[in-house]
Structures are given as C-alpha cells and as structure tokens.
Structure 1
Amino acid sequence: MAVDSPLLSRMASPTTSEKDMKALKFIEEMTRNPDSVQEKVLGEILSRNSNTEYLKRFDLNGAVDRKTFKSKVPVVMYENLKKEIQRISNGDRSPILSSHPINEFLTSSGTSSGERKLMPTIEEDIDRRQLLGGLLMPVMNLYVPGLDKGKGLYFLFVKSESKTSGGLPARPALTSYYKSDHFRTSDLQSDYTSPREAILCSDSSQSMYAQMLCGLLMRHEVLRLGAVFPSGLLRAISFLQNNWKELAQDISTGILSSKIFDPEIKNRMSKILNKPDQELADPLLPHWSFGHQNDVIR
C-alpha cells in the first residue's frame, strides 16, 4: 500500500508482527481522512439511536447527516442530562439515551464538582476501549526495538465501586476494564509482572506490595515501567522507600510477608515466590538504604 505515512513506511520491517501490522493499518485507515470517518460514525450513532426518547425531542425525521444534527441538537452540559441519567440509575430500562441497554455507569473522579458524575455505558463500549488500548504497544514497538521481548512493570489498581438504586454497577473506567472478561482472559502474565490477583485486590496496600515484589523478582525481564497516572509512580516510589527492607527479606527467604493476607494473592504469590534467592536480594540493599546505615539488613 503506497501511502505517505511514517507508520506504514516502517511496517515493512521483518520484525513487525502480524498483530502489530493489523493495528498500524487500522490507525492509518482511521486517520487518513478523519473528517469523513467522524461523519460516518455520527451517522451510525444517529441511525441506531433514532428511537431514543432524547433524539425524538429534536424532530430529526430520520436524518443522520451532520448539518441537520448541528442545527437541531444542542450542545449540552452534564446538568442538562442529569434527570435522564437519574432515571436510568433508578432502574428505568426504556430507551432514554441509548437504544442499547445500559449495563453500567462509568464514574468521574469528582474533582470538578465535589461529586462523581455518572456516565451511562453499553456492553460494546468496553470493546472500543480495548481496541484503543491495544494500539499503544504496536506504535511503541516501531520506535523502541525489542520492547516487546520483555515485561512491563505497571502499577495498576482497582478503585471503589458501588451500585445504583436500579442495580447497575457504578465504577471508574479502569476498574470496569480490570473486572471485565477482556482483562480476565488477556495474556497478562506474558506482558506484565503484576499478577491479576494483585491488581484486582481492593486493598491498595496489599496490591502495591505484591506488584512491587513481583517487579523486583522479575526485574531482569522488565523493559518498561509505568502507571496510569504520574501520581501512581510517585506512590510506588514512596511505598518502596517505606517497605524496601520487607521486600528484600521476602526475596532472600522465599517467604511472603505477613502484610499480605488476601487469600487469592497469597495463593498466586506462592507460585512466584517459591524459593529463597539471596543473590537476587543482595543488590537491593545498598542501593535502597537511602543513606541510612541502620536501615541496611545485615
């Protein structure tokens, strides 16, 4: 395919996998003419939701073109839809905002107004989020050769969730993904050091401890380090400063700290931390003593 594109010009590399090639072609197709793609997506949304209570208010008469949409459907704020969202939250299953059933609410952080906003979502939305997330590594692999040969130490956490009065889950987008079938069936072990059981643990301290310990145990395989937000890495650094002695002790003895009492994490860690490794633990001590001689384990 002869197209002037930095991505596609590098796709002929023999090291580019078939999976990455497919993702890169998708990026090229979606971005070559984004205006027409956006218009097509809008038409599909209007067509499939033409029978919803919300769109019926604006007398579109079946129109799915952008000009009609812009002239008849106003730009609104969250507050303008709050009553409709509350009805869905309370259990109204009629097609209010979507022709497809609402299966959960994604929640905002609540930093803008002091309370979390509820964003109704449908089952297939998680497929789209999975698709978008899967486009990251194929691009990184183009510019950082061999990055796909090792593991990533990513600090990932679930957050608190609740249920609305109508029985639908209400949770942050990442928590929704981590608890989905997509994540449960993903090949997490080959790509990341963090075990699924640790990520899904609602106790953030146990979750962090297990993820940090696994990262240290597999540190020779780690090629990338990250968190969803920069604050996550700052938390990890602070946690390491406060817990490095226990972590090094676990590695040197092959015995998991009593700080971990979640049964699923303990069961998973028994397969990862299954023997003493003083050689692996020794290099950790002088580098992580942070200048306090009394902190060094003798």
Structure 2
Amino acid sequence: MATGPPSSQALGTPISEFLLSSGTSGGDPKLIPTVKDELDRRQLLYSLLMPVMNQFVPGLDKGTGLYFLFVRSETKTPSGLPARPVLTSYYKSDHFKKHASNTCTSPLAAILCADVFQSMYAQMVSGLCQRHRVVRAGTVFASVLLRAIQFLQQHWEQLAANIEHGELSPCVSDPAVRAAVAGILQPDHKLAQFIRTGCSNGDWAGIIVRIWPNTKYLDTIVTGSMAQYFPILRYYSGDLPIASTKYVSSECPLGLNLHPMCDPSEVSYTIMPNLAYFEFLPTDGGVAAATELVELARVEAGREYEVVVTTYGGLSRYRVGDVLRVTGFHNAAPRFRFVRRSGALLSVDADKTDETELQRAVERASVLLRPHGAAVLDYTSRVCTKTIPGHYVVYWELTATAQQGGVGTGSVDGNVLDRCCLEIEEALSYVYWVLRVVDGAIRPLEIRVVRPGTFEELVNLAVSQGASMGQYKVTPMRDGLGRHPTS
C-alpha cells in the first residue's frame, strides 16, 4: 500500500494515511495503516477522559491544563499518502484544533511547530504566564514531562527576562508561534521576579506546585517503561497524584483507566471493545503458551496475555507486543494491567529479566543514594557479551536532590555504586541468582554513571533522526555493542 497499489483493493475503506510507530521495540518505526474515521474512535476515547476525572477531582472546569505537546515533520510514501506519528496526526486534526484552546495553555501554533526547541520554549513561557489558571499538568509520556522540567532548569533566566519585558526572545523565530505567544505574553515584572526567586536557589523539590500552585494532579503515563520516572516526578511535583488515564498505541486506541487516582503501580485499563477487535494470546514465563487466541469476554482473572488486535485500518490479528495481566472486571468488562513489552528482555543464559523486574530492582537500589543527596534521573540497560560469560550493564544518570547545604551527587563514590550493584542483583529472580552465584554463568552486574545531560542528548539525537518527541521512550539496548534504537 505504501509503495503504490490502491488500498481499496485490500479494504472496503481506503487507507487515509500511515501512522509511524515509536520504533522503540525494533529500532525502526513501523508503518501502521489507518482510515479516516479512526480519528472519530480516538476522539471518543479522549472525550471520556475528563468525565472520568471529574468523578475524582472537583473543580477541573475552573481552570485549564499545562500540557507539553509536540509534532514532528511528516513524510509521504511513494503512493502519496502521509506518514507521520499518531500524535502528529491527532494534533493536526480538526478534532484537536476545535478543543485545544479550551483544554491547555499552549497556543495551537506552538504545538504545531515542528522545531522542538521553539515549540517547548513557547509552550513553557505561555504556561508561566497563565500559571494561576493551571489545574492539571502533563504530557503523554512521563519522560517528556521530565524533559520540560529540565528545560525550565536550563532556561529560566531567559524566560524570566522575556516575561519582564513582554517580548519573546529571537530564539523563537517562527512567525506563527511569535504571533500566537504575543497574545499571551505581556510585561510582568512581578511574575519575572517570582520565577527568578523560585529557580535561582537550586532547590527544585516541588517546583511544579510552587510555580503552578493550583495544580491538582499530573496527567501522564507512568506505566511500563515510564514507571522509572515516577520517583523523580514525585520529587519535582511535591507528591502530586499522578494519573495514567488512557491506554493507546499507534495501532489503535485500546481503553481507559476508570480509577485514575490510584497508585501508579496499581493502574489497570478497561478495554473498550468498539475501538478494535481484541483477542489475547496466553503467555507463560514471558513467551506464548498457546496458539489458540482467547476472546475479550473469555479472559481469566490473574492470567497474563499478549494483546492481539484486528483494526479498522486493515491489521488482522496483529500482535501489538504488550503483555497484560487481568486484574478484575468492571461489570463484565475485564480490566488489564500493563506488565511488559514481550520483547524487552535482558538475557545472558537461561535468565530472562523484563523491564518491570529491572525497574523494581533499580528502585530498590536507588534508595541507597538518598543519604547522599542523589537520585536516578534516567537509566537504560543492555547485556554485554564482550566478556565470557556475559553480564548486565545498567547506565544511570544521577541528579542532585539535596536541599541547600546538601552534598549532591558528588558523594556517590565507587563504594556506594558497588552496594547498588549488589542490591540490584539481590532483587532479581531466583534463576538469575543461581546462574550468577552458583553456576558462575553470569558475571557481576555493572553500573556505569553517565555524565549529566546524556539522556537529553539521546532524545535530541533521536528527534534529529526523525523520532517523535511526544512518543519517544527509552528502552533496553539491543546488542552487546551498546547500539540504541533511534526512537
């Protein structure tokens, strides 16, 4: 279809465009076919989010959202159809444009600016100018919200100067963006001084609630690979609740969280059967345990399944790659908790460590950093096979969490990291322990601390190579050479 033959030969409804997957599972984005009325189904899911939230958080209609949303440049396939990430497709749609001004502080022109720096800068200054209107803050993925906070850390002086003089810096050159922000940005010496006072002392704990004091919760996905960002987001937000409201993929929307204010570790999603046709492949020990697919109405509580979708866009029994556990039912509708990506495993021998198990181990080890005024800002992992036997390598980027007078990350020496390595290994599975300690089939785990800003550079590299800022996710590296997916 992408190279030329008319899609109507395969489907009754012609393909309207191709959605690019994030690329984090296999290294390269996939082309996902979609049809025009798929946007209606996505909008149906999105339209239910606020009614659900209103049941748990009062007063949301009294303000707006501080959302950092991004698009990327789109391409065309040889057949002439657009190829772009699902978020870019949605943000450029009439569905989104109709409601954007009422739901977030960011001007539409800033969201639709493909230059990530200009877009972030304009959205941040707009959010600062409207800080008292903000009742919720978020991004699609937690990693992007963390990057927005880091952007504020790096550019608060320039942002404050813009607000003081009521004029946007020349670093934002897009005429449409400048015109949109001009309607929001007015000279405000008091606000500029407030930003300088709040950001200049080096204390970033609770910065979100200090600058946006009416914020009631964070709206961002912290399940799956995003779970690693939960502790640092709690630090920056002053322990605000974090709501993971929806479960969507490039292939199709899937469902929503009917109990959004639960602890992130307890998040379950109720799949809406009108969004696609859903089937489930039972799994056992991380691999498919059967060839017979189970229908949505016949899944069993407590069991794990890999989700399989047949979509309106033409995918037939497509394995999305997400492994889910049935946690219960809403009336007769099953509720699912995301467990892992089916292919995201570290393995040297017979061991199989998935991202959830590694995340728990890293959380346990990171507790040892607290007395030293440090925390894990971001991490990834790989298996090193240059040595025989091989071993796990975990890359940490650290950030200081100590208040003024604290010692920061400088005191995290080799002895502390050695203890962290042992703590991670203690938290891994019994199979890993046998292979590591009894059989000697795995060498000791290694933590490598990367310099500050490394993961931000990784994001910048991915975006420069065509990844979507809004869909970027860090996943385990794929081989012993340390090559990382481009998006």
TM range, normalised to the smaller chain? 0.5 to 0.7
Q: Residue type matched to 1:279 in 2? A: K
Shift of 1:284: 1.1
Can you list the C-alpha shifts for 1:208-254, whole angstroms capped at 9, x where unaligned? Answer: 00000010000011010000001111110110011000111111111
What is the match of residue 34 of structure 1? none
Write the distance in 2 (CA, Å) between the matches of 1:97 and 1:210.
43
Write the distance in 1 (CA, Å) between the matches of 2:68 and 2:7.
39
Write the distance in 1 (CA, Å) between the matches of 2:177 and 2:37.
30
Q: Secondary structure at the match of 2:137?
A: strand
Can you list the C-alpha shifts for 1:169-200, whole angstroms capped at 9, x where unaligned? Answer: 1111110001112122x132222100000000
What is the match of residue 283 of structure 1? 194
What is the match of residue 130 of structure 1? 43
What is the match of residue 198 of structure 1? 110
Q: Residue type matched to 1:287 in 2? A: G
Write the distance in 2 (CA, Å) between the matches of 1:124 and 1:147.
29
Can you list the C-alpha shifts for 1:116-167, whole angstroms capped at 9, x where unaligned? Answer: 1111111000111111111111110111010121010000000232110111
Q: Residue type matched to 2:126 in 1? A: C
Q: 1:144 to 1:167 in 2, by over 3 A?
A: same
TM-score for both structures, normalised by structure 1? 0.66
Q: Is the 8 A contact 2:8 2:15 kept in 1?
A: no
Percent identity, aligned pairs only, is: 56
Write the distance in 2 (CA, Å) between the matches of 1:135 and 1:237.
28
Match runs of 1:171-190 below 5 Å: 171-184=84-97, 186-190=98-102
Write the distance in 2 (CA, Å) between the matches of 1:290 and 1:259.
25
Q: Secondary structure at the match of 1:119?
A: strand
Aligned mate of 1:249, from 161, 164, 168: 161
Can you list the C-alpha shifts for 1:79-134, whole angstroms capped at 9, x where unaligned? Answer: xxxxxxxxx10121153442101010011111222211111111000111111111
Q: Residue type matched to 1:277 in 2? A: D
Asked if residue 161 in structure 1 is aligned to residue 71 in structure 2, the reply is: no
The more displaced of 90-99 and 161-170 is 90-99
Write the distance in 2 (CA, Å) between the matches of 1:224 and 1:192.
9
What is the match of residue 64 of structure 2? 151
Match runs of 1:58-97 below 5 Å: 88-97=1-10
What is the match of residue 176 of structure 2? 264
What is the match of residue 46 of structure 1? none
Write the distance in 1 (CA, Å) between the matches of 2:11 and 2:82.
17
TM-score for both structures, normalised by structure 2? 0.41
Q: Secondary structure at the match of 1:110?
A: coil
Write the distance in 2 (CA, Å) between the matches of 1:290 and 1:129.
43
Write the distance in 2 (CA, Å) between the matches of 1:131 and 1:238.
33
What is the match of residue 129 of structure 2? 217
Q: 1:125 to 1:223 in 2, by over 3 A?
A: same
Structure possessing the higher relative contact order (Cα contacts under 8 Å, 6 or more residues apart): 2
Match runs of 1:219-238 below 5 Å: 219-238=131-150
Match runs of 1:23-42 below 5 Å: none
Asked if residue 140 in structure 1 is aligned to residue 53 in structure 2, the reply is: yes
Write the distance in 2 (CA, Å) between the matches of 1:245 and 1:261.
19
Write the distance in 2 (CA, Å) between the matches of 1:168 and 1:147.
39
Write the distance in 2 (CA, Å) between the matches of 1:180 and 1:190.
16
Aligned mate of 2:30, from 92, 98, 117: 117
Write the distance in 1 (CA, Å) between the matches of 2:193 and 2:132.
14
Shift of 1:282: 1.5
Q: Residue type matched to 1:191 in 2? A: T
Q: Is the 8 A contact 2:74 2:84 kept in 1?
A: yes
Q: Residue type matched to 1:204 in 2? A: V
Quick check: which has more Rg, 1 or 2? 1
Higher helix share: 1
Aligned length: 203
Write the distance in 2 (CA, Å) between the matches of 1:175 and 1:157.
7
Q: Is the 8 A contact 2:7 2:15 kept in 1?
A: no
Aligned mate of 1:102, from 6, 9, 15: 15
Q: Residue type matched to 1:276 in 2? A: P
Unaligned runs of 5+ in 1: 1-87, 293-298
Q: Residue type matched to 2:3 in 1? A: N
Q: Residue type matched to 1:268 in 2? A: A
What is the match of residue 23 of structure 1? none
Write the distance in 1 (CA, Å) between the matches of 2:113 and 2:166.
22
What is the match of residue 393 of structure 2? none
Can you list the C-alpha shifts for 1:25-84, whole angstroms capped at 9, x where unaligned? Answer: xxxxxxxxxxxxxxxxxxxxxxxxxxxxxxxxxxxxxxxxxxxxxxxxxxxxxxxxxxxx
Q: Secondary structure at the match of 1:134?
A: helix
Unaligned runs of 5+ in 2: 204-487
Q: Is the 8 A contact 2:17 2:82 kept in 1?
A: yes
What is the match of residue 240 of structure 1? 152
